[in-house]
Copies of this chain bind each other. A is one copy, B any other.
Amino acid sequence: MTTIGHLINGEIVNEGSRSQDVFNPATGKAEKQVLLASKQTVEQAIACAEAAFPEWRNTPAIKRARVMFRFKELLEQHADHICKLIGQEHGKISHDAAGELQRGIENVEFACGAPQLLKGEHSRNVGPGIDSWSEFQPLGVVAGITPFNFPAMVPMWMFPLAIVCGNTFILKPSERDPSSTLYIAQLLKEAGLPDGVLNVINGDKEAVDTLLTDQRIKAVSFVGSTPIAEYIYATANANGKRCQALGGAKNHAIVMPDADMDNAVNQLLGAAFGSSGERCMALSVAVAVGDEAGDALVAKMQNAMTGLSVGAYDNASNDFGPVITCQHKDKVNGFISSAEQQGATIVVDGRNPEVEGYDNGYFVGATLIDGVTPEMDSYKAEIFGPVLQVVRVKTMQEAMKLIDDHEYGNGTCIFTRDGEAARYFSDHIQVGMVGINVPLPVPVAYHSFGGWKRSLFGDLHAYGPDGVRFYTKRKTITQRWPSSGVREGVSFAFPS
């Protein structure tokens, strides 16, 4: 059985008395083991990152960027292998993994623009003969703690930008599917990154808590569930670090009566069931305004869903794969059952699908539930499975209130043709990422990603311009030269 270790100071290190199985969720078999770093191993990585910092910080931004240019090439060359590693451990279908990887690469592309992004502001003559300017200097050693659902993309929201800004980095990926992350980190070494600038630590709470409390770590980026995000944010702050912690979501789409319904259904299919719904931007609630829209939506969705197929990662004709663990499968099924018990209608039931040849896989089929109400457990929680729930309301105002009342505020969408409705919605809705006829309004890499309310803890969003600001600290310099000795002295020195 393969053992997955750590990347410290440019070398694979197989340290750790503790380990954990890594499963193939399509087969339910443990095919690898991942080592869980001890406090000492993490501290060793931090020490290496700290040692690498002074030289990396002094390396001109354009030279740091050139490592990213080469990294992008390598990621593209080795895309198939990365997608395979993702599929084996996460279960997502190859085309979905390729999409994830592409989104990650886009963050590398953005990082290549570091010299432009790091420019400070220069003011001549803030007073007579006095100039002032700002510099955005790196923080030092920073850490990223990332979730299982995007083992390639989410880490690449963080470390390329942090590193290109001059920081050194400790990445702790999810212990459920660490291989693709580790492989990607090795490509960055191959791209020319000096040893110690990026280190990958596999581990569990011991590793996390070491990162959160060690005084040498200056900042932490986290993506995961809201309760953990809240813990990470509080602990990191209490230990003098800056932190951005992204949590859970419950993303609603409003379907207006004037929506292009075929388009809406087509978009919702991918947004609700893609990656088995294990995305913090998955669209899990459709809010139909008016029963006419609601009836049409449910009928067309039901019809469209008959074509969906669930299965293993390496069959590209599958639409989505298993969920991540057996326990998670049970949890998703439980939410479907609870909705049923609490009065909703299971229009399409994805519980316990048959997937030939994969009897032990953690599969849940695409599920459509109508008649959901805000009181139901399945509405309140983030299910993180291939389940689309339909809530019916009478007015757009009612739909917006529903969204604003939910604790999460990550993404949302409206389907309409009407300019005014779209503008009113995007202006007022209390959600950080808004789509207009775009069901997964994930900002492109040169904008920034972040929810509102309890979906994000911190001032600055992830990646893009906010990411640059997060990974740098502002220094403001004010300069006056007190006398003109040299300049005028010369004049005195040669009086004729």
Contact = CB atoms under 8 A, between A and B. Distances in A.
A447 interface: yes
A130 B437 CA distance: 10
Given A124-B427, A127-B60, A436 B477 contact: yes
Interface stretch (A199-207, A313-321, A325-333, A482-490): A482-490
A475 interface: yes
Given A237-B233, A420-B417, A476 B433 contact: yes
Interface in A445-495: 445-450, 452, 454, 457-461, 465-466, 469-470, 473-487, 490-491, 493-494
B416 A477 contact: no
Interface residues of A, number: 117
B109 A490 contact: no
Q: Name which of A129, A256, A426, A433 has the most chain B CB atoms within 10 A of its CB.
A: A426
Interface stretch (A8-16, A43-51, A301-309, A393-401): A393-401
Interface string A428-446: 0001111111100111111
Contacts of A237: 233-234, 237, 457
A120 interface: yes
Interface stretch (A20-28, A132-140, A152-160, A187-195): A132-140
A415 B237 CA distance: 36
A116 interface: yes
A341 interface: no
Given A60-B128, A135-B124, A483-B260, A477 B116 contact: no
A242 B115 CA distance: 28
A445 to B, nearest CB: 8
A420 B129 CA distance: 9
A182 interface: no
A338 interface: no
A118 B446 CA distance: 11
A279 to B, nearest CB: 15
Given A127-B60, A234-B237, A486 B417 contact: yes
Interface string A102-123: 0000100110110111111111
A121 B123 contact: no
A221 to B, nearest CB: 12
Given A134-B448, A483-B263, A475 B434 contact: yes
A257 interface: yes
Contacts of A130: 438
A289 interface: yes
Contacts of A436: 419, 477-481
A299 interface: no
A443 B476 contact: yes
A17 interface: no
Given A72-B69, A480-B437, A480-B438, A421 B128 contact: no
A491 B131 CA distance: 29
A477 B129 CA distance: 16
Contact of A418 (B126, B435, B445, B485): B485
Nearest to A426: B477
Contacts of A62: 106, 109, 126, 444, 446
Nearest to A440: B478
A423 interface: yes
Contacts of A433: 475-478
A479 B446 contact: no
Interface string A377-391: 000000000000000
A270 interface: no
A496 interface: yes
Interface of A: 58-62, 65-66, 69, 72-73, 106, 109-110, 112-113, 115-135, 137, 233-234, 237-238, 240, 242, 256-258, 260, 263-264, 289-291, 394-397, 415-424, 426-427, 431-438, 441-450, 452, 454, 457-461, 465-466, 469-470, 473-487, 490-491, 493-494, 496
